[in-house]
Amino acid sequence: MEQRKAALDSDNPQLSLRKQCKLLEVCRSSLYYKPTEKLDDCELLNLIRDIWQAHTFYGYRKITAVLKEEYRQIVNRKRVHRLMQIAGIRAIYPKPNLSKKRQGDSVREYLLKDLEIVAPDQVWMVDITYLKLKSRFVYLVAFIDVYSRYIVSWGLSYDLGTENSLEALRLGLIHAKPEIINSDQGCQYTSEAWINTLTESDIKISHDGVGRWADNIYIERFWRSIKYESIHLNEFDNYGELYLGVRNYIDFYNYKRPHQSLKYKTPAVIYQNKFNKEINKTEEPTDAEITNLI
């Protein structure tokens, strides 16, 4: 192909480039294509995450195809597969034996099934998500009170280990103690340090079923809110800017952002017991209530 493209003569007075391409069986559009500069692993991984976030059912083969066709990147499937493994990115699709429990004493039962949550600090949920800086990833952990949707505590770290979650837990326990903390079965939340800390604090441990992302739905909804309402709308150049952005959004989320499921009250109002009536999710808020929130 390259030899045939080299044989083309743009100054040929008798044959136009169109005819030359036809005779040599060369795609004319390839003459104008200039390969993009090869991205380093971090830049490519950021691009892979963006594609995967938009299409979580894409595996490494489809993501490779998108990188080549839409982003004009020179990349092979092995490199994409390697980066996705490093970042823990996997296509979301039905798999066999999803209900099979992970073995071991560190995994506990899911305690929230059919549980009526009627008060703040009855159940907290915790999870970790990644946030993207220009040069690397930072991991955000947060605890949410299920009854009020209030973010009780949070932490930001370059490290994906257990300590960031434990530090955020310590900050939350300064103000209150839940009866139950629910999490996924990630290594942070099945570790000996995590299990021992909650047991010593007399907190019941609840783990999602394998593949049951909906078991931790309230914290998942918070991740969607912070990413689409703040993180994706701003560009953070360094850790300090990102930390400030997360803190400002969580303050907004807790104290100013009305929730439809809370009868358009804020999480802080519900969590701090300033709104003690039973929440009727089907009842529309009055004009006076909405005015007070503005």
State the SS3 of the chain: CHHHHHCCCCCCCCCCHHHHHHHHCCCHHHHCCCCCCCCCHHHHHHHHHHHHHHCCCCCHHHHHHHHHHCCCCCCCHHHHHHHHHHHCCCCCCCCCCCCCCCCCCCCCCCCCCCCCCCCCCCEEEEEEEEEECCCCEEEEEEEEECCCCCEEEEEEECCCCHHHHHHHHHHHHCCCCCCEEEECCCCCCCCHHHHHHHHHCCCEEEECCCCCHHHHHHHHHHHHHHHHHCHHHCCCCCHHHHHHHHHHHHHHHHHCCCEHHHCCECHHHHHCCCCCCCCCCCCCCCHHHHHHHC
pLDDT in tens, 74-120: 899 999 999 888 877 877 654 443 334 444 457 888 888 889 999 99
pTM strictly above 0.75: no
The domain limits of the chain are 1-33, 37-92, 123-257
Residues 121, 175: Cα–Cα separation, whole Å = 10
pLDDT in tens, 194-237: 999 999 999 999 998 755 556 678 998 999 899 889 888 888 88
CATH class of 123-257: alpha beta
